[in-house]
Amino acid sequence: MSTSTIPGTITVHKANSRGHADHGWLDAWHSFSFASWHNPERMHFGALRVLNDDTIAAGKGFGTHPHDNMEIITIVTEGALMHKDSMGNEGIIKAGDVQVMSAGTGVRHSEFNPDPEHRTKLFQVWLFPRQRNATPRYDQITLDPKDRVNKFQQIVSPDPNDAGTWIGQDAWFQLGKFDGGRTERYAIKREGNGVYAMVVSGSAEIHGQPLSTRDAIGISAVDDLEIKTGPEGAELLLIDVPMEFN
């Protein structure tokens, strides 16, 4: 069975249990129901609605399309993405950059791989917002990968004055790249939050569950997580989100 669950506490999503769509120009893996892939048991994890693992072919992309009432976070891991939106923002998001778009009352945008020869790889994450119909906003930051070596680097929070960028939800995102054989602890930021953790590369044991590359685990009703990296090390993405939301 591809998905195992301990009620109310732990949900494990193996990499090969995700939805998959290969459109030629777009190769997409969906952790939660998205587009034509619908799994009633994989609708969301708390306020986390979408976690897409996308590869966009050279010179291809998404035409202009609308969003509203969603916090959208894009983490480019390889290549670059050209963004243009109805708020007047236009530019390139490079590997190592994080983009935030709070869609609020509504925004239209396009996303395009500007490189004619090389692919673009990214994670795109959607969260339900804390407040509906907020004023749309945009932000983009460049990260220093050295700040996540054997520690967690905060890339998103609810606080404009905190590290990383910010969104309109009580959620925190962390990236970490750890050597093999390490034991780490992550303290959940807010009472009532859970954590959805993906092994981006390598392997790890999280909360006692063995995970390989692109496997993920959702954990709620705990105060912290114990993470043990495999012999080859692990790169991790942690998404700390409210389990209940409006």
The 8-class DSSP code of residue 55 comes to E
Domains identified in the chain and CATH numbers: 3-242 (2.60.120.10)
Distance CA 68, CA 240 (A): 22
Distance CA 70, CA 47 (A): 10
* Sole residue written with tokens 């869609």: 103
Give the CA distances from residue 185 to residues 68, 150, 152, 207, in Å, rounded to whole numbers and listed in that order.
35, 12, 10, 10
Instruction: Per-residue pLDDT tens, the chain, 246 aa: give them.
Output: 334 333 348 999 999 999 999 999 999 999 999 999 999 999 999 999 999 999 999 999 999 999 999 999 999 999 999 999 999 999 999 999 999 999 999 999 999 999 999 999 999 999 999 999 999 999 999 999 999 999 999 999 999 999 999 999 999 999 999 999 999 999 999 999 999 999 999 999 999 999 999 999 999 999 999 999 999 999 999 999 999 987
| Report field, pTM of the whole predicted structure over 0.85 | yes
Instruction: Name the nearest CA neighbour of 1 among 72, 13, 10.
Output: 13
Tell me the backbone φ, ψ of residue 2, rounded to 5 degrees: -85, -20
Asked if 94 contacts 76 with a C-beta cutoff of 8 angstroms, the reply is: yes
The 8-class DSSP code of residue 36 comes to T
Distance CA 100, CA 213 (A): 25
